[in-house]
C-alpha cells in the first residue's frame, strides 16, 4: 500500500487543517439543581423498580400491595358492617405493618446506594456539577419519599374508605392528618437509618441483612425488655426503654402528641415531657444520619 | 465431600475483615440484654424462656442463618468470581457441601453459643431451659443454613427472600395462621427442644417425629438441590 502520493506543492492559502464541523455546545446548561433533581427522580423511580428490569419491580411492588391490601379489607369490612369507626387508627397502621416497612427499607436502601459504591459510579456523579450535599440530599429525599408513598398510600385508602362509609368527616380528617405526620417522621427516620447502614457496605446482601437486623432486633429487644419491665411493675422505665428502637420511637411520639394509643405493654405511652425527649431523639437521629452520610461521601473511592 | 481450601475461602468471605465483628454484634446484644434482664427481674424461668424463644430463636438464629447461608455463596455468584471456583476440578456437590458445613458452623458459633451463655446468665439453666434452647438453635442452624444456601444459589435476591421467610412467614403468619407453624423451621427445632427440656415452658405445635423427619428431609433436599443448581449455573449479568 505504499503508494507514493505525488507531493503537490502547497500553493498559497489552500493549506489548512480540515474543518469537519465540530461545534462547541452553546445551549442552556441545566446546572447543579437540575442534576440533583434528576438524581432524586431517578432514585425515587428506582425505589419502585421503575426504569429497571421486571425482576427488580417484583419485590417493591409486592410490598406495596401487601401494605395496601389490609387497609382495603378493613375499609370493606367497615362499609359492609356499617361500623361507626375504622377498625384501626390511622396512626396504628404503620406500627402494625412494621415488618413490611422494614423489609422495604432493607431491600431498597442498599439498592439505592450500595450499587453506586460497588460499581464505582459515585466518582462519576461527582464529576458532574453536583456535590456531596446534593448527592446525599437527593438519595435521602428519594428514599424518604418512596417510604412516604409506601406508608401514606394505605392511609389514603383508609381515609377514602372512611369517607365513603360516611364516617364523621372532621374526626376522620384529623386522624388522617395525624397519621400523615407520623408516617412522614417514620419515613425520614427509617430512610436515614437505612441509608447510613447501607452506605457502609458495597455488598447489597450484607446491607440488607444489616438494615433488617438493626430494625427488627432493636424492636425485639426493646419490646422484650418493656414486657419484662411491665411484669415487674416498674412502669416508669417502660417509656425510657422505648427510646432505643426506631419503631417504638415513632410509637412514642405519636402516642404523646398525635393522639394515638400506645402499643407499649400496658398501653402506657410516654407523657408529654417524655414525649418531648422522643421528638428530640427522632429529630436528632434524622440529623445524625444526614451528618453521617455527608461524612461518608466526603471522600469516595477515588 | 469436604474440601479444606474451599472451606478456608468461605470462612474468609464470611468472617474476613470486619465482618466477624459486625456478626458478633448480635450475640453480644443478646448477652447484654440477658444481663440487664437478670439484673431487673432476677432469675425467672418464664422470662428466660420468653427471651430465649422470642429474641434468640425467633429472630437471631434466622438472621445469622440468612447472613451465613446466603453469604457463603451469594456474593461469589453475584460478582461472578464463582467461575474461578467452578472451573477447578471439584465436584459441584462437594463445593455446596463444604460451604454448607462452614455456614452451619458459623451459624452455630454465632447463635447457639450465645444462646447457651444467655440461658445460663438468665436462670442458670433452670429446668434445662438454656440447654433446650441451645439444642433448638443448633438444630435450626443446620436447617436454616441449608435452606438459605439453596436460596443463595437460586436467586440474586436471596437475602430478601430469606428474611421474608424468617420474618413474615415464621413470625407474622406463624402467629396468625396455625397451619403455617407446621412448615416452620423454628417450630421443628422447638419440638426437639421440648424433648430435651421436658417441661411445659418449651412447647411446639409439631410432634417430635414429624419435626425430625421434616428437618432431615428439608436439609438433605435443600443441599442436594443446591448442588444440582450449581451444576447448571448460569451467570446472569447485573440487572
Distance separating alpha carbons of residues B21 and A94, to the nearest angstrom: 32
Distance separating alpha carbons of residues A108 and A114, to the nearest angstrom: 10
For residue A209, give the nearest of B159, B171, B238 by CB distance. Answer: B159
Distance separating alpha carbons of residues B235 and A18, to the nearest angstrom: 48
Q: In this structure, is residue A2 part of a structural domain?
A: no
CB A152 within 8 A of CB A183: yes
Q: In this structure, is residue A12 part of a structural domain?
A: no
What is the value of ipTM here, to two decimals?
Answer: 0.77
Distance separating alpha carbons of residues B162 and B114, to the nearest angstrom: 22
Direct distance between the N- and C-terminal alpha carbons of chain A, in angstroms, rounded to an integer: 46
Residue ranges of chain A with pLDDT lower than 70? Answer: 1-13, 266-268, 300-302
Interface of A with B in 41-80 (CB under 8 A): 52-53, 55-56, 59
Q: In this structure, is residue A301 part of a structural domain?
A: no
Distance separating alpha carbons of residues A64 and A66, to the nearest angstrom: 5
Q: Do A231 and B47 touch (CB under 8 A)?
A: yes
Q: In this structure, is residue A47 part of a structural domain?
A: yes
pLDDT for the residue numbered A298: 85
Q: Do B74 and A205 touch (CB under 8 A)?
A: yes
Number of domains in chain A: 1
Q: In this structure, is residue A224 part of a structural domain?
A: yes
The string of DSSP codes covering B160-186 is: HHHHIIIIIIIIIIHHH-GGGGGG-HH
Around Cβ A171, how many Cβ atoms within 10 Å? 12
Q: Which domain holds residue A244?
A: 32-296
Averages of pLDDT over runs of 10 residues in chain B (239 residues) are 86 81 85 84 77 82 89 82 86 89 92 89 80 89 92 84 82 73 84 79 78 89 89 65
pLDDT for the residue numbered A189: 94
Distance separating alpha carbons of residues B66 and A206, to the nearest angstrom: 10
Distance separating alpha carbons of residues A75 and A165, to the nearest angstrom: 8
pLDDT for the residue numbered A6: 56
For residue A217, give the nearest of B29, B66, B164 by CB distance. Answer: B29
Provide CB contacts within 8 A for B108, sequence distance 6+.
B137, B138, B141
Q: In this structure, is residue A79 part of a structural domain?
A: yes
Q: In this structure, is residue A128 part of a structural domain?
A: yes
Contacts of B114 in chain A (CB under 8 A): none
| pTM for the model | 0.83
Burial track A53-62 (b if 16+ CB lie within 10 A, e otherwise)? eeebeebbee
C-alpha cell at A140: 435521602
Q: In this structure, is residue A6 part of a structural domain?
A: no
Interface A-B: count of C-beta contacts within 8 A: 91
Burial track A206-235 (b if 16+ CB lie within 10 A, e otherwise)? bbbbbbbbbbbbbbbbbbbbbbbbbbeeee
pLDDT for the residue numbered B194: 84
Amino acid at each position: 500500500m505504499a503508494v507514493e502520493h505525488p507531493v503537490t506543492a502547497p500553493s498559497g492559502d489552500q493549506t489548512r487543517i480540515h474543518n469537519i464541523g465540530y461545534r462547541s455546545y452553546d445551549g442552556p446548561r441545566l446546572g447543579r439543581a437540575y442534576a440533583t433533581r434528576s438524581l432524586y427522580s431517578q432514585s425515587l423511580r428506582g425505589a419502585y423498580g421503575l426504569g429497571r428490569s421486571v425482576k427488580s419491580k417484583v419485590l417493591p411492588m409486592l410490598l406495596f400491595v401487601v401494605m395496601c391490601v389490609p387497609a382495603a379489607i378493613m375499609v370493606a369490612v367497615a362499609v359492609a358492617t356499617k361500623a361507626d369507626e375504622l377498625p384501626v387508627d390511622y396512626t396504628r397502621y404503620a406500627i402494625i405493618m412494621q415488618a413490611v416497612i422494614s423489609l422495604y427499607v432493607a431491600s431498597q436502601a442498599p439498592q439505592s446506594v450500595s450499587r453506586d459504591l460497588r460499581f464505582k459510579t459515585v466518582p462519576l456523579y461527582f464529576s458532574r456539577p453536583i456535590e456531596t450535599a446534593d448527592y446525599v440530599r437527593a438519595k435521602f429525599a428519594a428514599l424518604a419519599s418512596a417510604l412516604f408513598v409506601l406508608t401514606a398510600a394505605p392511609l389514603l385508602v383508609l381515609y377514602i374508605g372512611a369517607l365513603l362509609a360516611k364516617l364523621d368527616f372532621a374526626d376522620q380528617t384529623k386522624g388522617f392528618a395525624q397519621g400523615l405526620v407520623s408516617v412522614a417522621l417514620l419515613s425520614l427516620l427509617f430512610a436515614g437509618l437505612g441509608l447510613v447502614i447501607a452506605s457502609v457496605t458495597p455488598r447489597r446482601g450484607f446491607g440488607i441483612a444489616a438494615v433488617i437486623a438493626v430494625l427488627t432486633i432493636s424492636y425485639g429487644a426493646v419490646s422484650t425488655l418493656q414486657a419484662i419491665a411491665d411484669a415487674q411493675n416498674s412502669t416508669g422505665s417502660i417509656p425510657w426503654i422505648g427510646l432505643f428502637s426506631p419503631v417504638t420511637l415513632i410509637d412514642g411520639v405519636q402516642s404523646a402528641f398525635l393522639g394515638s394509643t400506645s402499643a407499649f405493654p400496658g398501653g402506657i405511652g410516654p407523657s408529654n415531657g417524655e414525649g418531648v425527649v422522643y421528638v428530640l431523639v427522632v429529630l436528632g437521629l434524622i440529623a445524625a444520619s444526614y451528618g453521617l452520610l455527608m461524612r461518608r461521601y466526603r471522600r469516595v473511592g477515588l | 465431600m469436604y474440601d479444606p481450601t474451599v472451606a478456608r475461602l468461605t470462612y474468609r468471605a464470611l468472617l474476613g475483615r470486619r465482618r466477624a465483628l459486625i456478626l458478633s454484634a448480635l450475640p453480644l446484644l443478646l448477652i447484654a440484654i440477658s444481663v440487664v434482664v437478670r439484673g431487673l427481674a432476677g432469675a425467672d424461668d418464664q422470662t428466660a424462656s420468653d427471651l430465649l424463644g422470642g429474641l434468640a430463636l425467633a429472630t437471631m438464629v434466622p438472621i445469622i442463618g440468612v447472613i451465613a447461608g446466603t453469604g457463603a455463596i451469594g456474593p461469589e455468584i453475584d460478582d461472578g468470581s464463582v467461575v474461578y471456583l467452578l472451573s477447578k476440578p471439584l465436584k459441584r456437590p462437594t463445593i455446596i457441601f463444604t460451604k454448607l458445613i462452614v455456614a452451619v458452623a458459623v451459624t452455630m458459633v454465632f447463635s447457639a453459643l450465645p444462646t447457651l451463655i444467655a440461658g445460663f446468665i438468665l436462670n442458670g439453666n433452670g429446668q434445662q431451659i438454656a440447654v433446650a434452647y441451645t439444642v433448638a438453635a443448633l438444630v435450626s442452624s443446620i436447617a436454616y443454613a441449608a435452606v438459605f444456601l439453596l436460596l443463595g444459589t437460586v436467586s440474586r435476591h436471596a437475602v430478601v427472600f430469606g428474611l421474608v421467610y424468617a420474618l413474615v412467614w415464621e413470625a407474622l403468619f406463624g402467629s396468625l395462621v396455625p397451619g403455617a407453624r407446621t412448615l416452620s423451621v423454628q417450630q421443628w427445632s422447638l419440638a426437639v427442644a421440648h424433648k430435651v427440656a421436658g417441661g411445659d415452658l418449651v412447647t411446639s405445635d409439631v410432634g417430635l417425629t414429624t419435626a425430625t423427619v421434616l428437618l432431615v428431609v428439608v436439609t438433605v433436599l435443600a443441599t442436594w438441590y443446591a448442588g444440582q443448581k450449581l451444576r447448571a449455573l448460569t451467570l446472569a449479568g447485573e440487572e
